A and B are shown apart, each in its own frame.
Chain A
Amino acid sequence: MVSATPEILPLVGSLSTKTFTLLSVAAAVIIFFAVTLLARAKSNSRGHSVLLVGPPDAGKTAIFSSLVYHQALPSHSSLQINCAHVVLPPSKTLRIVDVPGHPRIRDQFREHLRIAKAIVFVVDASTVSRNAPAVAEHLHHVLHAIASLPPSQPTPKVLVLAHKADLVKAGASSSSVTEVAISRVRTVLERELEKRRASQTGGVGVESMDAESESELGGLECGGTARGGFKFSEWDGGEVDFIGTWVEVGEKNGDQDGLRELKDWLEQLIR
């Protein structure tokens, strides 16, 4: 009976010396790994991702294959997302995500929005006047998603690409083909977005089924709305750039001149 209590003490003593040190070392290692993983995840969240979104048949997959494989492969309507890494000349890599444009599956871009550094909205400049309402609706959804990002995340930059500029008829003006394409896309989109904004403000929307979620699409607020009309230069969500490009689908290997401005813009992005 007297020997019972001293027997316990050496056990605790042995615990305290050997296993305690082991346990503390193991705990430190685990904490160190956890911290590094978290840090890496955070750095990845800022990421160098560029999203290619836009209405169907705009040419997103052709631009994607041209940037990744250096040749514009023939393509049809995409069914799923393509993402790949692209090396730009000063040895910097960028992750490009090509999102399908079909209205039923275009909402997949929201999952990648959080890690996006820039969003490129590709528009077919030769047919934009014909299907302006559909293009404007798509752009509205994208702008609304950007505007509803939490303020802790840096806003991605927006670029509107007036694609297929080589199919746009220049007309009598002496300006280059890309400038004509850019101006046409800009005016058409501004007009349609203004119509959308006017139909939403000053109206009563129908609530959606669960009352807590918002049903209205906002995101088109401009500073200085007294002047009337939606202008990209006055958009509250950030800067919107415009570039005109084109791509030749075929067997040519080598750098496409039509995407030169886009590549310059992307390089400027990472700098």
Chain B
Amino acid sequence: MLDHCSISHRGGVVLWSRSFTPEASHVASSATSPVNSLIREALIEGRTAEQKYEKDGYAVKWTFFNDLELIFVVAYQRILQLAYVDDLLTAMKALFIKLFEPFLTTFVASLHAMNTGNSTPSSKNGDTSWNFAKAFDGWDGVFDKLLKTFEDKAAQERKSRFRPQARAIQVESESPSEDDSTVPTESPDVTQDEQQIARNVQALKNRLRGRGGRHGGRVAPRADSGASGPNSESESGKRKTKSKTQRKWGDEVPTESDMATLDFSLDKPDAGMDGRLASDLRSLVDSASLGTRTKDGLYEVKDWDFGNNGDASVIAKALTREASQRSTSSLGALGSLFARLTGSKVLTEQDLKPVLEGMKQHLMKKNVAKEIADKVCESVGEGLVGKKVGGFQTTSNTVRSALSASLTSILTPKTSTDLLLSIRTKLSSPSQRRVPYSITFVGVNGVGKSTNLSKVCFWLIQNNLRVLIAACDTFRSGAVEQLRVHVRNLSMLGVDGATDSKGRVELFEKGYGKDAAAIAKEAIAHAKENGFDVVLIDTAGRMQDNEPLMRALAKLVTVNSPDKILFVGEALVGNEAVDQLTKFDRALRDFSSASSGKSRGIDGMLVTKWDTVDDKVGAALSMTYVTGQPIIFVGCGQTYTDLRQLRVDSVVQAILSD
């Protein structure tokens, strides 16, 4: 039931792979194989903390062996719920390493040929011929056996789950003795007391009246529940063994027992009342939370225990426990020092945990959102467990360099951030008749959309482009006037020795209270007619939870299909960044794909108010991690020239500095 398995090296070479269907083998050798997508989208971006990746109907699970830099991947159809894949991966890893360790060590060593000693490695390579097919000879058979044991175990578990369910269905089909359709099976020696006779007479009358919907209705649900039993694996059979009591509708004469239960008169002798009261009393008061009595006999309430708030104290307790445990580990401090000097110390999870915890706290101090700091530290830890660290490098240094590499890879853009190039490419393409390039600015309230829009406009004017600003913020009072003042200022600033820039920038507005999508559409048409190069669309600020406003934004995007959607966020935001960006992205993708079928998300980000945070720049990391899109500009002031480009190494340095 698996589709594809592969064992490969982190440098790209695939050591062994197997496809179980011809379609999977065809896909696996192309560039869009599940392994390739996993690496490109999850591993390189450091999203390894989630441990599951899904793409194109495939679910992919993986594991690492960091000492030999190997990756083990298993891909299967997403709709199947296979429980044995994790165990298969661990077993595969253990067996493969055990069987082929010497070959793998030489292979990995050959991929890291250092500059020293040019002669010796080359002679070794010339002698040994690398026959990979022969090296992994027995592995196919071993893997087949392994897979078969796991599949058999899973099949057996499923069969054992089915057997009690089958028995339950048998019981159920016999129980409907009150159903009229099984009247002939009634045993003749049933107690014939008065109520029974009356009930039988009533039942006969109902039957003669005809099969009502009530009884028919009662048959159908039971048939459904019987049929759906075997299909649901997760439902336990234990629930079905309880016999269902027939519901009493009000059309029958009440029996004696019914009369007893329906009697609520007060003078009934209730022997069990006291017992019931005693149990109620016990449930009213929790003896563990009773307060204390002072010397004067006053009863004082117990103090509120900040149990949930004691995260820091819990971590401190865990760290001290870890530290004391570390000292009593098998190697001991001196032993581990010797191991490190000889280059054979292997990093374990216990070694890494306190260091990663410290790193996480450091990241959070730098204003990185808590979940992001968690995930980043976890993925760094996963990539380091089992690695050999040697020389005079301490554990914290290794973790720090790995963390720095991971942060650099998260912050480096994967698409081009050159806005001018994209604009010029679009304007010079001969197919479209001078359709202007449109950029939409979205974000929550008060982050600086209009201010930074005017900064971007100034930059575009400096590059000899004609800009039209569309005032699609029709809600906030003063939004249109604000843009008018900006346009007036920009017209007064000259470019290339000219005294002013009249005609280079204009404002397109239709007042307040109108539909933003319609204004944007008219603005783009106006720009097309009058030869403007770029249209900047300013939208109203909206909270990410506000569904009608998000729908309105998605409608603007669908109707006008802007070339770039820039999310404007401020650098001061902390944990809120994660929530804002995920909800904005999700809302845009869902609502825009519902209508036109082409889902648009956020294409880039603009981080504002950078000058208010000196080196607590973690918001940049949180924002790029959540969306995967690059930060195109950084706003650091309120004048027109306060627009900068992000430099990845300086941000990483600022985050990791103390």
Contacts and interface: CB of A to CB of B under 8 A. Distances in A.
- Between A76, A87, A200, A204, the greatest number of chain B beta carbons within 10 A of the residue's beta carbon is seen for A76
B412 A73 contact: no
Nearest to A40: B116
Contact of B40 (A56, A84, A208, A210): A56
- Interface size, A (range): 35 or more
A79 B44 contact: yes
A61 interface: yes
A83 B125 CA distance: 13
Interface string A76-89: 11111111111100
A103 B126 contact: no
A222 interface: no
B599 interface: no
Nearest to B634: A209
Nearest to B632: A206
A13 B140 CA distance: 79
B36 A77 contact: yes
B12 A95 contact: no
Contacts of A83: 111-113
A199 interface: yes
- Interface size, B (range): 35 or more
Contacts of A196: 418, 421
Contacts of A233: none
Contact of B409 (A71, A95, A105): A105
Given A57-B31, A71-B130, A87-B126, A76 B12 contact: yes
A249 to B, nearest CB: 8
Given A76-B35, A104-B412, A207 B644 contact: yes
Contacts, number: 154
Given A76-B14, A107-B412, A198 B424 contact: yes
A104 B645 contact: no
Interface stretch (A14-22, A25-33, A62-70, A169-177): A62-70
B105 interface: no
Q: Taking chain B's interface residues, is the majority helix, strand, or loop, or is none over half, making it mixed?
A: mixed
Interface string A129-143: 000011001000000
Contact of A85 (B6, B12, B118, B133): B118
Contacts of A73: 13-14, 132
Given A76-B35, A196-B421, A251 B133 contact: yes
B412 A44 contact: no
Given A82-B12, A195-B425, A206-B633, A104 B45 contact: yes
Contacts of A74: 13-14, 17, 29
B378 to A, nearest CB: 18
A199 B420 contact: yes
A252 B147 CA distance: 29
B459 interface: yes
A231 to B, nearest CB: 19
A93 interface: yes
B111 A84 contact: yes
Interface string A182-215: 0000000000000110111001101111100101
B44 A134 contact: no
B308 to A, nearest CB: 38
A105 B644 CA distance: 23
Nearest to A249: B29
A206 B459 contact: yes
B492 interface: no
A85 B412 CA distance: 30
A203 B459 CA distance: 10
B12 A61 contact: yes
Interface in B4-60: 6, 8, 10-14, 17, 29, 31, 33, 35-36, 39-40, 43-45
A102 interface: yes
Contacts of B39: 76-77, 79
A105 B463 CA distance: 31
Interface string B633-647: 110100000011111
B342 interface: no
B416 interface: yes
A47 B115 contact: yes
A210 B647 contact: yes
A137 B416 contact: yes
A170 B634 CA distance: 48
A96 to B, nearest CB: 9
Given A79-B10, A104-B45, A208-B645, A253 B131 contact: yes
Contact of A98 (B12, B44, B610): B12
A100 interface: yes
Contacts of B14: 73-76
Contacts of B10: 78-80
B416 A82 contact: no
Contacts of B634: 209
A141 to B, nearest CB: 11
B74 to A, nearest CB: 14
Nearest to A204: B462
A246 B418 CA distance: 33
B322 interface: no
Contact of A134 (B110, B416, B610): B416
B413 interface: yes
Interface string A250-267: 010100000000000000
Interface string B118-135: 110110011001111100
15 contacts: A47-B115, A61-B12, A68-B125, A73-B13, A77-B40, A78-B11, A78-B12, A85-B121, A85-B125, A87-B125, A107-B412, A196-B418, A199-B418, A206-B459, A208-B647
Interface of A: 44, 47, 56-57, 61, 65, 68-71, 73-87, 93, 95, 98, 100, 102-105, 107, 115, 133-134, 137, 195-196, 198-200, 203-204, 206-210, 213, 215, 251, 253
Given A77-B39, A87-B125, A209-B636, 7 more contacts: A71-B132, A79-B71, A82-B11, A207-B644, A208-B645, A209-B634, A209-B645
